[in-house]
Structures are given as structure tokens and as C-alpha cells.
Chain A
Amino acid sequence: MMWRALSADWLKIRGKGIWFLAFLGPLGLIAMQGLNFGLRYDYLRGQYREDLWGGLLSEVVPFVPIALYLGGTLICSLIANVEHQTSAWKQLLALPVSRTAVFMAKLLLCLLLLIVSCLLLSAGTVVLGLLLGFGAQPIPLADVLRIGFAAYAAAMPVIALQLWLSLSSRNQTLPVSVGLTLSLVSPFGVYFTEWMPLSWPVLAWSDPRPWLFSGAGLLLGLLVILPGAIHFARKDVD
């Protein structure tokens, strides 16, 4: 039943600029690094000559957590807005489909869109590296995939929270403000404590035990999804 709801959602987000956003994020990051390397090519190439790919990844990676938080916030809000805009909830939820299925379909849609973004980021990084002539050195495929997906898993609590907030109220000011604030604060998270979930996407790359933080993110994400889904299933639809 969730798949039915997902297939309906797939159709509904057409032409809402959501796909555009999912493409814009990673391609923007790559374009920025293209500019960075293009302007300082000789300097950076000299700097990273031992490990050119590693150097490129280390330049891309600082922007990934904040991009994920921002992208997640906006995608959740846009997906929720498709239903909020013409108060389509009362039509959708009066259909023979369980509320949990509707909630999970929206979550899955949001996660799928972000997966596409992460894949594009990895693919874009490889293309950029090859364009910059790093092809002589072997491509570290595992690390290339890790720049997006390690942070993606670690960002799960915030994404789940954003979806919950966005679906809860028609007014998107609160969820978007919360999302923006979290995104902007996140780079400073590492200065506090590693127990702060906000810093996990950064630590999922830079910490000596990166998997710990990706895993913790997935786990806490599940814990946030649960009350979100229960609240959504019980609330009155106005």
C-alpha cells in the first residue's frame, strides 16, 4: 500500500521544482569546486600531488553536511506543500490508505530524492576529477561514494524531524526556519561534543571511526521517524 502512495506522490511532485532542487545541490557544489580548482589549479595540484583525488574530495566534503541539511529541509517542505497548498490532505486521507503508509511514502520519496543528489555528487566529483586531469591516479571509488552517503546516513535525524515538522502544519515558516537554523549551526557542531547529532555528518567523514556516526545517525533517525509517524496517524485533519 505504501508503494501505491509512493507512486501517486511520484506523479504529484512533477513540475514543482523538486527534481530541479535535487539536481541543483550536487551540481552546484561540483561547479563551485570546478571554479576553485580552475582558479588555483597549479597551487592546488602542487598541494595535493601525492593524492590528487583525496585532495579533491577534501575540498568538496566540508560543504556536504550543510548542503544535505538545507536540501533536506527544502525538499521536505516542498513535498509537504504539494498537499498543503490546496488542502489536499482531506481528499488524500479519506482514501482507503493508511496514514502510516502515506507518511512512509513521503519519507521514502524525500530519501530517494536525496539519494539521487548524493549519487550525482559522487558522479560529478569523478567527472570533475577526470576533467582536471587526475585520471592518471586510481579513482578511490569507496571514498567517492562515502562523501555523500556517509553524511546522508548521519543526517537522517534532521531529515526525519524536518519531514515531521513540515507535514504537521500548513504554515511552513516554522519548519523552514528550524531547518535553516540547524543548517547554519551545523558547521560549528564539531566544536561542542560528538554527542551532538548535528555534527555527525561531519564526523562521519573526518572521525577515525566514521561508521559509528553514520550508524548512530540511522538509528536516531529511526527513533525520530517513529513519533512522527504516530503523530501523523493520529492527528485531526482540518
Chain B
Amino acid sequence: MKDTVIETKNLLKEYRGRAAVKNLNLNITKGEIYGFLGPNGAGKTTTIRMLLGLIKPTSGSIEIFGKELRANRMQILRKVGSLVESPSYYGHLSAWDNLEAIRRILGVPKVRIAEVLEIVSLTGEETRPVKGFSLGMKQRLGIAAALLGSPELLILDEPTNGLDPSGIQEIRSLIKRLPGEQGITVLVSSHLLSEIEQMAGTVGIIREGQMVYQDTIAHLQQQAAGHLRLALSEPETALMTAVRRGCGGELQEGRLVLPRMSDARVSLLVKELVEEGHAIYRVEEHRQSLEEFFLQVVGGGEL
């Protein structure tokens, strides 16, 4: 039996009668990187704010570390580090003082400040006022703040939003290191599939407040099925053959396009077409990219 870190049941949040999140069932296992994926405005941030107790769900339950959030908020938050949307910082204070202000509330030893600055490679910049930092540095400071209390669960909302490619790369490798080195469970949200694909082991896709997919990345890649394209001499009659064999299919740009099927069926169909006298020029498998699949999922298509 796996340890569940976050479990939500039928989570609902309504704003003036409009559901921002509905029937959301999240399931996050200890030690994994969980990618929370969805277009802007799908309800990712709303969900994350509910997980942190910043906003109250209209109905439904949230359990973190096996405990009900509302009743055990303080105990749970002690083991959670978070970074929500745009970085929060006190611009007039130095990076060190920003972390010190948080440290005073957490009550952790002062050495942690130097440690987390080292982890996010901000050592040497700690005395400068944060308002002069680049967005990437502010975001890294936010991650440092999230790590300050040595959390067991890290919740990062769009940590790479607005960063340049090297900044994204840096944050990504930082996040990937965490579960291995410190045994931390990470929930990371993004609207970019490529981001999640490179970091996460499990992915949850949310659309219009509802979870439409929740499984491993590997399974997602399998699901993103491709199709078969045949270039041949007489596509119209070939299509009739294919339909007769129950393969379905359609004509696109003079080519026969068939849905994905098993190797055995492909060879049978090809054999039959050859026997009917078709000249077959090409048999191509066109794999749908994960990105296309994702767009199909969030665009309202069925799985």
C-alpha cells in the first residue's frame, strides 16, 4: 500500500454560483513529483489555495498526511512549503532578511537560511534588496522560502512562469533533485505540458475545474495513440476494403488514414489490399504528439 500525501474528495469551490473547481479528486503519493496540468483559468491555483488553507472549499474534503486539513491546519502546514503564483517577497528587504522574517515564524535555526540559499544558488546575493532581483532570482528566493522549514511536501504553483529558458532549466533541475535528495513529495502546477513531462512522474489534467485525467506520464504517452497512413494507387476502393474489414478509416489528401490498430491486423489488411491489386507506396505510422493529445483533452475531446 502506497502512502498518500494529498487526497481530496469531491472538492468544490464556487464563486457567485460559478464553480471554479468541481468534483476534484486529487491523489498524490509520497515521494513523487505530481504534475498538475491545465490551461490558464482551469482552477489550478484555486485548488492549490484550497490545499494551503488560503481559501475555503464550498464543499468536499481535503486530507494531507492522512489528516483533515481544516482541523489540523497548523500541524499540516508545518510540514508544507509553498510557492503560489507570482513570487511573494518584501522588496525593501534583502534576501537574507526576507528569509529571516519567515524563519522567525517557523522557528527553525538560523543556519537553515544559509542552507536554503545554497540550494537555490543565491549565496552571495543575500545582502542585496530583493526589489533589484531578476524574476528568476525572486522565484528562486520563493523556492528557498518554501524549503526553509524542511518540508515533507512542496507545493509549487507555476514555478517557471515568466522565466527565460535558462531560468526554467535551473528551476526544473532543482525540482527534480528534491525527491531523491530530501525525500520530498512535490506538487507542481503548470499550463505547459512539456514542463510537466520533463519533471513529473504522475500527471493530473484539469479542465474547467474538473479533473479529466490522472495517471502516470508513461501511461499518458501511451494514450496519445497515433494513426496509420497508407499511400496507394486507388485510395477510394482501398477505403471500401478497409471499411468492409471493419477497420474504419477515411481519406485525407488522397491517402487512406486508419485509426491505430494491432500489428496483426495491419499485416492482414495490407496483404488483402495487395491481393486486390493495389500498389502500396507507403505505410506510415503517425504518432500524435503528447502536445496534440493534451490539447485534445483540454479542448473538450474525449479520452
A residues contacting B by CB (< 8 A) are 4-5, 7-8, 11-12, 14-16, 82, 85-98, 234, 236-238
Contacts and interface: CB of A to CB of B under 8 A. Distances in A.
Which of B49, B85, B88, B102: most chain A CB closer than 10 A? B88
Contacts of A12: 90, 93, 101
Contact of A15 (B49, B82, B87, B92): B92
A89 to B, nearest CB: 8
Given A4-B105, A236-B54, A237-B54, A90 B100 contact: no
Interface residues of B, number: 34
Contacts of A85: 91
A236 to B, nearest CB: 4
A234 to B, nearest CB: 8
Interface in B100-130: 100-102, 104-107
B86 interface: yes
B213 interface: no
Contacts of B78: 96
Contacts of A14: 92-93, 97
Interface of B: 49, 52-56, 74-75, 77-78, 80, 82-93, 97, 100-102, 104-107, 142, 145, 149
11 contacts: A8-B105, A14-B92, A15-B93, A88-B88, A90-B49, A91-B84, A94-B54, A94-B84, A95-B149, A97-B105, A237-B55
Contacts of B104: 4, 7-8, 11
Nearest to A85: B91
A86 B55 contact: no
B107 A87 contact: no
Which of B74, B92, B97, B105: most chain A CB closer than 10 A? B105
Contacts of B80: 94
Contacts, number: 85
A102 to B, nearest CB: 9
B107 A4 contact: yes
Contacts of B91: 85-86
Which of B56, B104, B142: most chain A CB closer than 10 A? B104
A238 to B, nearest CB: 8
A237 B51 CA distance: 12
B55 A11 contact: no
A12 B130 CA distance: 13
A95 B102 contact: yes
Contacts of A97: 74, 105
Contacts of B102: 8, 91, 95
B105 A5 contact: yes
A221 to B, nearest CB: 26
Contact of A90 (B54, B90, B97, B107): B54
B44 to A, nearest CB: 14
Given A85-B91, A86-B91, A91-B84, 7 more contacts: A4-B105, A14-B93, A89-B88, A91-B142, A93-B54, A95-B106, A96-B149
A108 B280 CA distance: 84
A94 B53 contact: yes
B114 to A, nearest CB: 17
Nearest to A237: B54
B77 A94 contact: yes
A133 B84 CA distance: 61
Contacts of B75: 96
Which of A82, A94, A234: most chain B CB closer than 10 A? A94
A7 B77 CA distance: 20
B101 A8 contact: yes
A95 B106 CA distance: 7
A88 B54 contact: no
B59 to A, nearest CB: 15
Nearest to A93: B54
A94 B105 CA distance: 11
Contacts of B52: 90, 94
A91 B92 contact: no
A94 B83 CA distance: 9
A223 B106 CA distance: 31
Nearest to B92: A15
Contact of A82 (B77, B83, B90): B90
A91 to B, nearest CB: 4
A98 B90 contact: no
Contacts of B93: 11-12, 14-15
Given A4-B107, A88-B89, A237-B49, A95 B101 contact: no
Nearest to A3: B104
Nearest to A105: B105
A238 B85 CA distance: 11
